[in-house]
Amino acid sequence: MALKIYLAGPEVFLPEARAVIAEKKLLCSRYGFEPMAPGDLVKRDGLDPFTHGMKISAANEGLMMASDAVIANLTPFRGVSADVGTVYELGFMCALGRSVWAFSNEPRDYFDRVRDDFYQGELVPRPTGGMAGPDGLSVENHGMGDNLMLDGGILARGGAFVRRDVPRERLYSDLGGFEECLKLAAAALL
């Protein structure tokens, strides 16, 4: 029986969600894994929005528990960091001791993104060391792709956080990083 990989990522929010997720599933199968895609099982069925949300959450947690590994798309989403739904799932799978890989279609370090995109370059040194925004909030600088809990959790489990530069219009749909994770997963697990 093929090992199951949970496909975490903000692709669910794309206008072309179905096509991109179908492509991910196809790629996943080609590398010898069974794809487990969030939201697959949940119909609206006249439920109120809150109950519907609870049902999707429960379904996704069930899919994760049934999976052997996760590949998380950590491309920044509506801000400087990854989609929080995906990050919840990454933490969830790390705690379960599953194999984890991640990719981002944004190559820069978290520090550089926060400095340039969020604070427009206006960082100031902190009295206790390191740098902060004009709002006083410190900006961590560990040479990592996102908050250290994300990079740390992935790397501590033998996974990898693949970062690539892609054309802006393919920020959420480019699957080169995803395929690189599949190759790593195949080399590690098959």
Catalog residues that contact its own copies under the rule CB under 8 A: 10, 12-15, 17, 49-50, 52-54, 56-58, 60-61, 64, 78-85, 87-96, 114, 118, 126, 132, 136-144, 146-153, 155-156, 172
Q: Which is nearer to its own copies, 1 or 169 (CB)?
A: 169
Q: Which is nearer to its own copies, 136 or 167 (CB)?
A: 136
88: left (phi over 0), alpha (psi -120 to 50) or beta: alpha
Q: In angstroms, what is the minimal distance from the CB of 158 to its own copies?
A: 13
Amino acid at 33: F
**Residue corresponding to tokens 């550089």:** 112
Q: Which is nearer to its own copies, 78 or 167 (CB)?
A: 78
Q: Which is nearer to its own copies, 69 or 80 (CB)?
A: 80
Q: In angstroms, what is the minimal distance from the CB of 182 to its own copies?
A: 23
Q: Which is nearer to its own copies, 30 or 170 (CB)?
A: 170
Amino acid at 172: Y
Helix ranges (DSSP H) in 31-78: 49-65
Q: Which residues contact 110 (CB under 8 A, 6 or more apart)?
A: 80, 81, 140, 142, 144, 145, 146, 147
Provide the CB-side half-sphere exposure for 14 (13 A, CA): 17
Q: In angstroms, what is the minimal distance from the CB of 26 to its own copies?
A: 22
Q: In angstroms, what is the minimal distance from the CB of 186 to its own copies?
A: 25
What the block records as the tokens of 47 is: 């439920």
**Residue corresponding to tokens 């993104």:** 113
Q: In angstroms, what is the minimal distance from the CB of 2 to its own copies?
A: 23
